[in-house]
Amino acid sequence: MDAIFEKVKATAEEINDYAIGSLEELEQFRIKYIGSKGELKNLFAGIKEVAPEKKKEFGQLVNQVKQQAEEKFNTIKASLGNESSASSKNSIDLTAPGEPITLGSRHPISIVKNQIIEIFSRIGFTIAEGPELESDWYNFSALNMPENHPARDMQDTYFIQQDPDIVLRTHTSNAQIRTMESQEPPIRVICPGRVYRNETISARAHCQFHQVEGLYIDEKVSFADLKQALYYFTQEMFGEGTKIRLRPSYFPFTEPSAEMDISCLICEGEGCSVCKHTGWVEILGCGMVDPNVLDNCKIDSEKYTGFAFGMGVERIAMLKYGINDIRLFFENDVRFLEQFTGIN
């Protein structure tokens, strides 16, 4: 055998054994054997020295080795290429720890509304709801506020342009009227929901807010029952030892009427800016249901009496959590909302 044939075979073995572990080494391999100045090119050039009858055999042999080198190059390139793309950002690493999912939190108004509902449900109140778009009758007239009654001005009202008989309800008392119309006493309901008033928006007032109103109608319901129910609510909501005080007031649908204050949670009655140095903060309106209202709902006012109360959920939440601006509830800034994570 010619020495040049031996050289080709030795190169074939070398190619076979050549260890390639990285793309860099692969490139070195390509330059050494396959490239335009590579060894195989040199071997081809050696064909000049080969005897004419062996030129064909020699050519085939070198071609074979060249193919072998190219195959090795392509196979390794493919496998190294896969590895490098596996670590690129498009692919998924199934072994990586999962990304944490940020949990939302309940809105503070929902939290406080649910707490109010829960406290009253423990003493036998069930939920009654009514529409937010309401007729004049359910929002005003049935509640002892006939047309042109001055008390209507107590609640600045949004009217519907197409139909002056329809309003955005100014309180959830509409649900109380609807309940009294459709149920026989004893009635014991609370009416949570959104209400609207044409108020200038400020830190203390908003044109939309939430209420929970309550109604209890039965034989011999007294003012003492009202006071006890509200006292129970206060202790559960704001903590034992919170004092209450009832001040005479006026609502067209209750007689007598009162507003209830609680001892200031911030200064515990000492006097501070929240309670305007009085030691007390107002939290709700209440009273004994006016017999006219019972009559409007076809409930015998000779036989039955009842009490009613109504509170603003935002106000309760502001006192409970020390929030000083009602607008925060409607802006839905996550930095505000996420402080209530984990509270139900």
Site of interaction with ligand PHE (CB under 6 A): 171, 173, 213, 251, 254, 285-287, 308-310
Phi, psi (5° rounding) for residue 258? -150, 160
The residue among 11 and 296 lying less far from ligand PHE, judged by its C-beta, is: 296
The residue among 238 and 307 lying less far from ligand PHE, judged by its C-beta, is: 307
Tell me the closest approach of the beta carbon of residue 257 to ligand PHE, in angstroms.
6
- Using CB positions, name the residue nearest to ligand PHE: 310
The residue among 155 and 263 lying less far from ligand PHE, judged by its C-beta, is: 155
The residue among 171 and 210 lying less far from ligand PHE, judged by its C-beta, is: 171
Tell me the closest approach of the beta carbon of residue 192 to ligand PHE, in angstroms.
13
Tell me the closest approach of the beta carbon of residue 215 to ligand PHE, in angstroms.
8
Tell me the closest approach of the beta carbon of residue 104 to ligand PHE, in angstroms.
31
The residue among 213 and 314 lying less far from ligand PHE, judged by its C-beta, is: 213
Distance, in Å, from the CA atom of 213 to the CA atom of 230, rounded to the nearest integer, reads 12
Tell me the closest approach of the beta carbon of residue 135 to ligand PHE, in angstroms.
17
The residue among 43 and 287 lying less far from ligand PHE, judged by its C-beta, is: 287
The residue among 146 and 279 lying less far from ligand PHE, judged by its C-beta, is: 146
Tell me the closest approach of the beta carbon of residue 170 to ligand PHE, in angstroms.
7
Tell me the closest approach of the beta carbon of residue 92 to ligand PHE, in angstroms.
56
The residue among 72 and 315 lying less far from ligand PHE, judged by its C-beta, is: 315
C-beta of residue 181 within 8 angstroms of C-beta of residue 215: no
Tell me the closest approach of the beta carbon of residue 312 to ligand PHE, in angstroms.
8
Task: Give the chain as a 3 state SS string.
Answer: CCHHHHHHHHHHHHHHHCCCCCHHHHHHHHHHHHCCCCHHHHHHHHHHHCCHHHHHHHHHHHHHHHHHHHHHHHHHHHHHHHHHHHCCCCCCCCCCCCCCCCCCCCCHHHHHHHHHHHHHHHCCCEECCCCCEEEHHHHCHHHCCCCCCHHHHHCCCCEECCEEEEEECCCCHHHHHHHHHHCCCCEEEEEEEEEECCCCCCCCCCCEEEEEEEEEEECCCCHHHHHHHHHHHHHHHHCCCCCEEEEEEEECCEEEEEEEEEECCCCCCCCCCCCCCCCEEEEEEEEEECHHHHHHCCCCCCCCEEEEEEEEHHHHHHHHHCCCCCCHHHHCCHHHHHHHCCCC
